[in-house]
Structure 1
């Protein structure tokens, strides 16, 4: 593992000398570690002579697995040290952006007030980045979302606790005909409109497109962005209509009308997820309870006492 850690640092820094400085080793020691790994694997791991130093395919594969193993070992060391009382608690917490700008700050503040000595790290990442970090042991806990159409990309073998359902809403230019009178609209009312959508592969717009197709039309996208502020700015400028997650319209800008959808509204399930383990650090259990409490009003139902499954 020591040699694999060395190779991981070489991958980060792009040279033996920079990796040696980061690790507090000599350049010769770094070179020997890498050469030893190459003898063990029977494969070249670095392309010598390149600047910055590049990894071979075998090197990239070993680094990918090595980082996951190193993260797991680090988590094991942390858990054992906490149990023995030799180290303070830590929480490596991840979340997708719209949760970070809505309910997550209140949850983090509540944790800090209850456990001020906990070392807190917050990672802002998209769904596609959070799940691998959980699987590899880089995060202790993450707020994620899922939907049936994303089943292939949101598979996760750890545990999760459902927090609430985030119902998407229509965002229309001010004065739009569909926004007149009633506070709700039909998704089919927008079938012939120009849409502001997400970029190819966008998780949120994959959900929207799935819901539109389920009722018989495919949105005609004229502009794309995965920044909800940009999406709403385009709508405010009269460049199209959009359907975006409810969390994203919490602070809708001037120039747009937000309407609930009567039938066929897309819904994403918001959960807090954690690596599968028989041992769950106390701070992880505490944060799950806090998140349930903070999001109680978003569920619209009385909070049920339950343990993570």
Structure 2
């Protein structure tokens, strides 16, 4: 099959997987049902494998079909990027930057960086995606994002950290938050995790990056946190703590404006630290928007690097 025809056929296969039928996929693609069927049949002839289980409703892909669609998405993203760069060279299109970030970065230092990008590079067309780590890394590796602010920690699985090129921005240590009337809130000195071993905890949902990092730190201190309430919303967790429902560990970025009724304390040892970086695929010829945004983020966060705690 010629390349363009192959790409179109793989796109049709992806829509069949997404929509669950040839007819629904045809509606999305602006084709006839017969044309979609012909695309799939051509792919199956080319690969010598059955790609669609036509006996299921909604229609499902075979294992081979899923493999082809997964790689096809990456190919499509690369071709779109190539088209964009060629158009930029020809002067027919402004630069594009598809930028992703996790929520606490978006509500703290990222807006200032985006504002500078808009001022210094007004022709760049910017798209911003708000997602959690579990979603950002796959979007980067699949080519759906050009650049993203991410973080890593030894407690996180490789699938979350991903094989990406990273530029370190700063370290974000976690802090303890306590109800204002908690017995430990009267202490003016830093706490240890061991001080909290017998407490009820408020934390992230099991399996979330936040929960994994907190559990890793607590286990290193000799105990498992007794999670009584779960939420991945830092504001909700602070409200639960303010109501006296437990204690929690929250990254520093999540405590820029603490909720009334909580006390924030540093840990003197064993505090988990997430490493904040800006990440992209390790490809040559990154578009100008990527290079510009990296430089801006490094500059905007320079004061946070100067404030990084010493490693214990």
Q: Same fold (TM over 0.5)?
A: yes
- Find out whether 1:10 has 2:24 as its counterpart: no
2:79 counterpart SS class:
helix
* Cα separation, partners in 2 of 1:227 and 1:158, compared to 1, 3 Å: same
Alignment equivalent of 2:240, drawn from 234, 240, 250? 234
Is 1:39 paired with 2:35? no
Q: Residue 122 of structure 2 aligns to a residue in which SS?
A: coil
- C-alpha offsets along residues 150-173 of structure 1, whole Å, 9 cap, x if unaligned? 253344333111000001001111
Q: How does 1:190-201 map to 2 (within 5 A)?
A: 190-201=196-207
> Structure 1 residue 143: deviation in Å?
0.3
**In structure 2, what is the equivalent of residue 177 of structure 1?**
183
Say if 1:215 and 1:264, in contact at 8 Å, map to a contact too.
yes
For residues 211 and 238 of structure 1, the distance between their equivalents in structure 2, rounded to whole angstroms, comes to: 23
Deviations 1:204-240 (A, max 9, x none): 1211222222222222222222221221121111111
Distance 1:248 1:265 in 2: 15
Please say if 1:223 is aligned against 2:223: no
Report the CA distance between 1:191 and its aligned residue: 1.4
Pick from 73, 78, 92 the counterpart of residue 86 of structure 1.
92
Name the counterpart of 1:267.
273
User: Which whole-Å CA distance do the structure 2 matches of 1:280 and 1:183 have between them?
Assistant: 47
* Inter-partner Cα distance in structure 2 for 1:252 and 1:70: 44
Aligned ranges 1:35-114 → 2 under 5 Å: 35-48=41-54, 50-114=56-120
Q: CA RMSD in A?
A: 1.9
**Counterpart in 1 of 2:26?**
20
**Counterpart Cα distance in 2 of 1:19 and 1:104:** 37
TM-score normalised according to structure 1 size: 0.91
Unaligned runs of 5+ in 1: 303-309
Aligned to 1:307: none
Are 2:259 and 1:253 aligned? yes
The count of aligned residue pairs is 302
Alpha-carbon contact 1:162-1:271 (below 8 Å) kept: yes
Question: Tell me, what secondary structure is at the counterpart of 1:184?
Answer: coil
What SS class does the counterpart of residue 153 from structure 1 fall into?
helix
Residues 153, 29 of structure 1: alpha-carbon distance in 2 compared, 3 angstrom cutoff: closer
Point out where structure 2 has 5 or more consecutive residues left out of the alignment: 1-6
Distance 1:210 1:51 in 2: 43
